Structure 1
C-alpha cells in the first residue's frame, strides 16, 4: 500500500471523528459535559469504548511482536488474567466508593482522607504517569506512520507528532468526555474488527482453516502461556498474576482516565455492568492479539520475512513486524484493516488521556468545580488542554531520542514507579482507619518510595539471589509508600473516618 493511499485513509478517518465531535458538542460545550458527560452515558457504550482506551496501539503492535521471544511467548496472558481479577476488585471496591462520594476527580477522595497536600501529591503522580504513558503509546504509532508514510514525503518525525496531537486536540477540546464516549466506541469497533480480520487474512495466506490455525498456533514454539518452572524469573506465573492485579488496580482503578468514563454512567449498577462486560471483552481480545503474534511469526518463517531494523538504533525491532507484514507482504485490504485498527487503538487512548489530564488539572489544581466562575470557565479549560498537548509532544520527542526497548515493556516499567505511590496512598486511606498521616510529609514519603524501589530493582540479583522483578515491582513501591505513610502518621483522636 502506497504512502499516499495510507495518508488518504487517515484523512477520511479523522474526517469521521470530526463529524461526530461536531454533532455531539454543537449544543453543549460546558465543563460538565467535558468532565462527566453530564453523568448520562450508556453503560454498554462505555464498556465497549473502554476497550480501545485500555488496549492502545502498544497492545496492537508490541504484544504480538513480543510473542517471538522464546522466553516470553504467550506469558502476557498470565498478566491479562491478573488484570481481569483487578477489574472485578475495582467494580466491587472502588466504584461504589467513587459513586457514593460523587467525585469528578477520583483524587478528591485522598483530600477527604489524608489531607490537601496528599491530594495534590496523588493528582501530581497521575499527571506524570498518564502523560508519560500516553506519550509512549502515541510514540509507537507515530513511529510506524513515520516509517511507512511520512518519510516518503520528507516530513520530519517532530512534525508528524505535532500534527497527530493537533488533530486529537481539534476533535476533543469542545465536547471532551461526551464526545469521546462515542468516538471511542467507533474506534473500538475498528480495533476489534481489525484484529479478527487480520487473523482471517493471515490464515488465508497460510492456507489454514480456523481449526488448523488453532492447532498450528497451539503446537508452535510461540504459544506457551503458563510459566511455573523458575520463580526467580520475571515470567513466573504468580508474579504475572499478582503484577496484573495490582497494575490494574493502579492503572485503571486509581487512574482518572478510565475511571472518568465509569463515573459518567447514570448509577453504580450500570457502572458495574460496564466493568464486568469490559472485563470479558478485554480477556478475549488480548488472546486474539497473542494469536496474531504467533501467526505473524509463522508467516514470517514461511515467507522469509525478517524483523525490521529500527532506523534510529540499528537494532531489530519486534514492534515493527506487524506493520511490516501488513503493509508490504499482504494485499491492500489487510493493509487497510491493519491501518484502521492501529489508528483506532492509538487515538482512542490518546484522546481519552488528554481529556483526563485536562480534567484532573482543572479540578485538582485550579479548583474549577468549587466556584461558579470556574465551572463556567471554558477558555481556561481550553488553555489547559493545549498545555497538555504540547507537554505530550515534548515527552514523545524525548522517548524517540532515548528509548530502544519494546514500548509495552517501557510502559509497565514507568507504571511501577509512578503508580506505586497511588497504591500506597489509597491503601492508607482505605485500610488504615486509626491513624492520621502527617500531610506535609506525604510528597517526601512518595518520592523516597520511588527511589527505594529503583534501588531494589536495580540490585535485585545481588539482594535476592538472581530474583528478577516483573510487573510485581509496583507492589513493592506501593508497600514502601504505605509503610512510609504509617511511619509519619500518628494515632487518630476520636472516631476513625468511615468510608
Structure 2
C-alpha cells in the first residue's frame, strides 16, 4: 500500500470527524461536554457503543486468537449478556435516580469523601494506562506501515494523533463522541465484512456455503466443559464475562457517560438491550474472520499468528487494495473510538471527581478550567504512550501493565457491590488502604495459584479482587446506616 494513499485515507477520515464535531459543537457548554444535555437518541448511543467496546486490541486480537483457542472467547461474550442485563436493571436505574454525571459520586453519598476519591482515582489510573496502551499498539502499526517510510519519528506520530482527537472533542466532548462513535463503529463493521468477503472469495467459499464452512471447521468449537482447571473452562469464562461487563462497562465512567446522555432511563435501557444483541453477532463475525484468516495463512504458507495475522494478511498478502484500505480504516476507527471517549471521560472525571469543578468554581470559570484539564490530560496521554516506546522496550512488560489495569477494577466492583447489597457503613478513611491492598494480594495469589491449587485464574482474577475488597470493607464496617 502506498504511503500517500494511507495518508489521504487518514486525512479524509479525520476530516469527517472534525465536520461532525463542527455540526454538533454549536452553543456548547459544560452540560453538553459532560452529558450531551441528556438529548442523545438511544439507538445512536447503542450503535456507537459497539465501536467503543471493541477497541483496536479486539480488532486485531480476536481473529488471531482462533488458531490457538478456537471459539472459546464466545463463552466470555455470552457472559457479557448477563452482565449487561445487570447494568440495565440494577445500575442504570440507580444512576438515573441520582441524576449523576460522574458515576463515582454514588460512592460519596453512600460511604464518604475518601471512598469517592478512591473510586475516581482507580478509574483515572486504569483509563490512562488502558487508553495509552491501546493507542500505543495502533500507533505502532501505523508507524510500521506508514510513518517510518516518511521519516516521521514515533513521538511525532503520537503528538499528531492526540492533537487530532483533541481537535474534534474539545468543544462538545461526549455530545460529539456519541455521533463520531457511530461513524467509527460503521467503519469497523464494514472492515470486517469486506475482509470476510475477500478472504472467503480467495479460498473459493461462496456466500451460501460460508456459514456451513465456519460451523464445520474444527476451529469453531465454542463450549469447553472438560477441564475445570483450564482457563477455557465454560463456567470460568461465562462468569468472568458477566463480571467484566458489569465492571468495565457498568462501573466505568467512560462507557456509562454515553448511556447517561440518553433522554431518560427507559431509553438508556433500550440502548443497553439492543447494544447487547448486536455485540454478540459482531463478535461472532470477528471469530468467523479468524477461521478464514487462519485457513488462508495455512494455505498460502504465511508465517503470521496471533496479533500479526490480520495486519499481515490484509496489507501484505496480495489480496488487493480493497481489503488493505478497509483494514487501515477499521483499525483507525477501532483505536480512536476508544481513545476519544477515554480523553473525554478522563476530563469529566478529573473535573467533577477530583477538583470538584461544580462546587468550587463559578459557572463563568468552569468552562475555561474544563478546557485546561482537557489539554493537560491530552499531554499526559502523549507522555505515557511515548514512554511505552522509549523507556519500556519490552512489549511483554507493557502487556503486563495493561493486564494490571484490570486489577484496578476489582476495588470498584467491591465498593459498588458492598454499597448496593449491604446496609453497613464503613470507616471511610480506611477505604483507600483496602482498595490498594486488594489488587496487590490478588496479584500475589494469581501468580502462585497454579503452583498452590493447580488452578489458573484467567479472567477470574477480577472476581477474586472484588471479593477481597468486599471482605476488607466488611472488616472496617461500623454500623447500619
Same-fold status (TM-score > 0.5): yes
Match of 1:359 among 342, 345, 348: 348
The change in CA–CA distance for 1:375 and 1:230 in structure 2 (over 3 A counts) is: farther
Question: CA shift at 1:402, angstroms?
Answer: 4.6
> Does the 8 Å contact 1:73/1:224 carry over to 2?
yes
Q: Look up the match of 1:334.
A: 323
Instruction: Return 5+ residue gaps in structure 2 as ranges.
Output: none
In 2, are the aligned partners of 1:17 and 1:171 still within 8 Å (CA)?
A: yes
In the other structure, the counterpart of 1:414 is 404
- Secondary structure of the corresponding residue to residue 478 of structure 2: strand
CA contact (8 A) 1:319 1:406 kept: no
Change (3 A) 1:284 1:375: farther
Partner residue of 1:242? Answer: 239
Map 1:270-289 → 2, pairs under 5 A: 270-289=267-286
Contact 2:358-2:366 within 8 A present in 1 as well: no
In the alignment, which of 135, 142, 148 is matched to residue 151 of structure 1?
Answer: 148
Q: Please name the residue that 1:20 is paired with.
A: 20
Does residue 223 of the first structure (1) align with residue 214 of the second (2)?
no
Judged with a 3 Å threshold, the aligned counterparts in structure 2 of structure 1 residues 281 and 162 are, in CA distance, closer, same or farther, namely same
The change in CA–CA distance for 1:417 and 1:348 in structure 2 (over 3 A counts) is same
Structure-to-structure mapping, 1:285-296, within 5 angstroms: 285-296=282-293
| Structure 1 gaps, min length 5 | 308-316
Q: Shift of the alpha carbon at 1:254?
A: 0.3
Q: The residue matched to 2:196 in structure 1 has which SS? A: helix
Measure, in 2, the Cα distance between the counterparts of 1:277 and 1:409. 33
Query: Partners of 1:462 and 1:199 in 2: how far apart?
Result: 42
Please give the alpha-carbon distance, in whole angstroms, between the structure 2 residues aligned to 1:295 and 1:2. Answer: 26
- Tell me the equivalent position of 1:264: 261
Q: Taking structure 1 as reference, are residues 68 and 397 closer, same or farther at Cα in structure 2, changes over 3 Å only? A: farther
CA distance in 2, matches of 1:293, 1:472: 25
Aligned twin of 2:414: 424
Aligned residue number for residue 318 of structure 1: 306
Aligned partners of 1:62 and 1:407 also within 8 Å: no
Which residue in 2 is equivalent to 1:167?
164
Matches within 5 A, 1:289-304: 289-304=286-301
Kindly indicate whether the alpha-carbon contact (under 8 Å) linking 1:30 and 1:376 is maintained by their aligned counterparts in 2: no
Which moved further from structure 2: 246-255 or 205-214?
A: 205-214
Contact 1:108/1:364 (<8 A) preserved: yes
Instruction: State the distance in 1 between where 2:363 and 2:112 align.
Output: 22
Aligned residue number for residue 115 of structure 2: 118
Q: Number of aligned pairs?
A: 478
Deviations 1:65-95 (A, max 9, x none): 11122xx121111111111110111000000
RMSD: 1.7
Please say if residues 48 and 182 of structure 2, whose CA atoms lie closer than 8 Å, have aligned partners that are also in contact: yes
Q: Does the Cα contact within 8 Å between 2:126 and 2:406 map onto a contact in 1? A: no
State the match for 1:404 in structure 2.
395
The corresponding residue for 1:470 is 458
User: Which structure is higher in helix share?
Assistant: 2
Q: Could you give the per-residue CA deviations for residues 384-439 of structure 1, whole angstroms, max 9, x where no partner exists?
A: 1122222222332344435534998874x234311000000101110110x21000
Q: What is residue 132 of structure 2 aligned with on the other side?
A: 135
Would you identify which runs of 4 or more consecutive aligned residues in structure 1 move more than 4 Å?
405-411
For residues 240-297 of structure 1, give each alpha carbon's deviation from its aligned partner in whole angstroms, at most 9, with x where no partner exists: 1111111111100000011001000010000000000000011100110111111111
Bigger Cα displacement from structure 2, 93-102 vs 151-160: 151-160
**Contact 2:388 2:398 (8 Å CA) reproduced:** no
* Residues 31 and 376 in structure 1, CA contact (< 8 A), matched pair in contact too: no
Q: Does 1:442 align with 2:441?
A: no
